[in-house]
Structure 1
Amino acid sequence: MQNQQSRKGPKMLITDNTKRPGFKKRRNSIGSQSEVALKVRVSTDSLRSAENAFMNPSLYVAIKYCLCMDTTLEELFPDLFEQARTELNLINM
């Protein structure tokens, strides 16, 4: 019998989006999720997943988010920068 989860894909746990508060703040300042998704040419689901740190967009899409929201990658994705810093510190120890 096939696992139901494998047919539908992994379930995402809903948590607060404290990992990317800058993303939500900037996005709210220019429009709704659907409005910004349309400007960036991604689906609303993709934008929502990036905003809530459920997934990481490609570098190209992340740059488009930055240009659309007039900000930096680090402001929109601080969790990725923290992860990279942590990994580099572990390597350089």
Structure 2
Amino acid sequence: MGRRIDIDELVGAAEIAERLGVKRLQVVHDWRRRHAEFPRPVVAVSRTLVWYWPEVRRWAIQTGRLSGDEEVAVTGPRDNGAPNNDGVAMTA
């Protein structure tokens, strides 16, 4: 059986870049290629990679890219069936 994760904690490269203060989302893909310890995506949808934010956040803190005390601006949980930024309905 697979692991259980909170779908509200799933992020793409654009969200990771925004939360870590990086202007170009390509930097996220560079980290993925250059740093073996960068978290593996939990899923690939079409050609889009999706990560579990708590794993990325932990990596960012460990590598000094995010302070452990720093609060990251995160949007609140989506309403059941409400479209996310990509226009895809997500349900919990």
Bin the TM-score by the shorter chain.
0.3 to 0.5
User: TM-score, normalised to structure 1's length?
Assistant: 0.35
TM-score, with structure 2 as normaliser? 0.35
Which structure exhibits the higher relative contact order, with contacts defined as CA atoms closer than 8 Å and separated by 6 or more residues?
1
- Return the structure number with greater strand share: 2
> Which is helix-richer, 1 or 2?
1
Structure with max Cα Rg: 1
